[in-house]
Structures are given as structure tokens and as C-alpha cells.
């Protein structure tokens, strides 16, 4: 079997390391020829995953065709805003029997599609979703982790589970792909909200209240957008929410905290050194979905007002806390 990983951020690099260490022929596509050569030579992605040694067997390339040629499984690990364009770009390079794994968390702004649905639409290939409480900083150092692999065809999900599971990275099959992906996208919005409250000086009690509010909103929106309510209470929902909304590893929480401390939105994004804050476009997309579907998503409204409408963060969180 061959696995091709598209995207060499922290998460894509980590997943390439996981499959390569399992003995699977793995190729990692990197945007930028010089950077690809540097990672191939140094055996380290210094920008996104410093200190983690990559397996010698892992092939790193800047050539998409080389990465994807004869790959039975293709892991898509690029930011949500680039997903549709890149999927369309590599569609003709895929093997006829290739299965795609979406490791991207987000929601399309206009169509409310999850990333797996976008990839499937652009490529015509079956696409499973991989989502869960998965900090790359921990998975890449072999700390015990669980994740969800979701597709309506459980047999297809189990095929991917077999390909990526290790003793420390355990994948579980699930059939609610839409629900799993919606949880993965919405928890990033919640994490920005909890980060903002931390930045304003509020403590763990407030964080817990906001997490509970966010979980309730997540559970309500899932069936409205095609998922199953029960998914919110599993590993892909509350599990991922705990890991993201309460951890300093979370770039969404860190971004929110810096905004709460008084940093501008643009400055907070810039301070993360090029790492994508998926909760910002997710807040835009869920705000649009709430308007289109008549959903009451107070947490999304607060984050959207701060990040898009320049609302005072203290006032936005104060109004939000009145809903708890």
C-alpha cells in the first residue's frame, strides 16, 4: 500500500510520520521546492513540528504527481480555505481506486458543506473524515491518542482505520461523517470564545460555562445541518472540544486569548507564525448557516462580531455570558 499526504503543516506531517512508522510507503507533498528539500534532508519540519524526527523511509516531495501516483489512500491536510482549489487541482492525478481522507476541519461559507463533501465533489472519489482530539504536538511524540474515521460506508471507514492505527494512535470507525466534521469545525469557534474569556482575565468556571454553552449549541446544530445529535457527545464532539477549548496547544484558543488581552485580530493571527486559525473562517460559515437556517448560535455570534465586525471583545463576552 502507498499513502500520499497532501499538506505539510503540523498535522499533515504528523500523519505522514504515523503511516511511515507503520511500514507503509508514505509520500508527503510540501508546497515549495526548497522547503521540501530541506525537510527531506534534515528529517524535520522545523517550521511546524520542531524537534520531531521524521522516519528515513518517509519520502518528501514538491511534486503532487509523484506524491499521489498509485496511492491507495490520500490524506488531505491543507487549510479549509485552500481545500476546494487544491482538490480540483489533484483530482486527475489520483489512482482510480484511491480513497481520500480529509484531515481538514472547516465549513464551506456559501454551501455549508463539510470539507469531505467538498473534496468528494471536486474529485469524484470516496472521502472519509478524520477528526478528534488530536494535537499534532502530542501525536507526533507518540502520546496515547484516539481519533475518529467517519464515512456512511462503515467498511470503507474501517479500511482507513486499519491503515493508520498504531498502539498509540487508535482510530475508531464511525458512520456519521457529517456530524463528525461539524463537531470538528464548531469546536474551533468555541475555543476562540474560551480563549477570549481567558484573555479578559476570567477563570476556569467561566471556561466551563462557555464549553457547556458551546456543546449545547453543537448538539442543536448537528441535526439541522445533516448530522446526528448523539455525535456531539462522543470523541469527535465533546472529546475534541475539551482538548481544544482548554489547551494551550490550541491555536484557536491562543488566538482568542490574545484578542481578549487587547491584541487586534490581524496581530493575533500574525503572532501565530503562519499557522491557520480555522475557527475564524468557521465562525463566518456558521454565522451564515445560522442566518440561512434560522439557528440560534450565540457563541458563534459573539466570535463573529469580534473577528468580523470589530465588536469590543469585553462587551461581546459579557453579553454571551448573560446567556449561560
Backbone angles phi, psi at 48, to 5 degrees: -110, -20
Backbone angles phi, psi at 138, to 5 degrees: -95, -45
Residue 81 CB coordination number (10 Å): 15
Query: Is 105 annotated as catalytic?
Result: no
Distance CA 300, CA 193 (A): 8
| Residues whose CB is less than 8 angstroms from the CB of residue 45 and which lie 6 or more positions away in sequence, other chains included | 8, 10, 13, 39, 52, 54
List the catalytic residue out of 170, 187, 198, 275: 187
Q: Do 278 and 11 contact (CB within 8 A), yes or no?
A: no
Q: Active-site residues: which are they? A: 187
Amino acid at each position: 500500500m502507498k499513502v500520499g499526504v497532501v499538506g505539510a503543516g503540523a498535522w499533515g506531517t504528523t500523519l505522514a510520520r504515523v503511516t511511515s512508522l507503520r511500514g507503509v510507503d508514505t509520500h508527503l507533498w510540501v508546497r515549495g521546492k526548497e522547503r521540501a528539500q530541506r525537510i527531506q534532508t534534515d528529517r524535520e519540519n522545523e517550521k511546524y513540528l520542531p524537534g520531531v524526527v521524521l522516519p528515513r523511509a518517509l519520502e518528501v516531495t514538491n511534486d503532487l504527481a509523484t506524491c499521489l501516483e498509485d496511492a491507495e489512500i490520500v490524506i488531505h491536510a491543507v487549510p479549509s480555505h485552500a481545500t476546494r482549489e487544491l482538490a480540483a487541482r489533484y483530482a486527475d492525478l489520483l489512482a482510480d481506486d484511491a480513497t481520500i481522507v480529509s484531515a481538514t476541519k472547516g465549513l464551506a461559507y456559501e454551501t455549508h458543506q463539510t470539507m469531505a463533501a467538498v473534496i468528494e465533489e471536486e474529485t469524484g472519489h470516496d472521502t472519509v473524515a478524520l477528526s478528534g482530539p488530536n494535537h499534532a504536538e502530542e501525536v507526533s511524540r507518540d502520546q496515547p491518542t484516539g481519533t475518529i474515521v467517519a464515512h456512511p460506508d462503515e467498511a470503507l471507514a474501517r479500511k482507513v482505520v486499519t491503515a493508520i492505527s498504531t498502539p498509540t494512535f487508535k482510530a475508531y470507525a464511525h458512520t456519521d461523517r457529517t456530524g463528525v466534521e461539524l463537531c470538528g469545525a464548531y469546536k474551533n469557534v468555541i475555543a476562540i470564545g474560551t480563549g477570549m474569556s481567558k484573555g479578559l482575565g476570567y477563570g476556569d468556571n467561566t471556561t466551563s460555562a462557555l464549553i457547556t454553552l458551546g456543546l449545547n449549541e453543537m448538539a442543536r446544530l448537528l441535526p439541522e445541518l445533516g448530522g446526528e445529535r448523539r455525535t456531539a457527545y462522543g470523541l469527535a464532539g465533546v472529546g475534541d472540544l475539551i482538548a481544544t477549548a482548554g489547551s494551550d496547544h490550541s491555536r484557536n484558543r491562543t488566538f482568542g486569548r490574545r484578542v481578549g488581552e487587547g491584541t487586534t485580530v490581524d496581530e493575533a493571527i500574525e503572532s501565530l507564525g503562519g499557522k491557520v486559525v480555522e475557527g475564524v473562517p468557521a465562525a463566518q460559515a456558521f454565522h451564515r448557516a445560522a442566518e440561512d437556517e434560522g439557528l440560534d448560535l450565540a457563541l458563534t455570534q459573539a466570535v463573529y462580531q469580534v473577528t468580523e465586525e470589530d465588536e469590543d471583545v469585553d462587551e461581546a463576552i459579557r453579553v454571551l455570558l448573560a446567556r449561560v
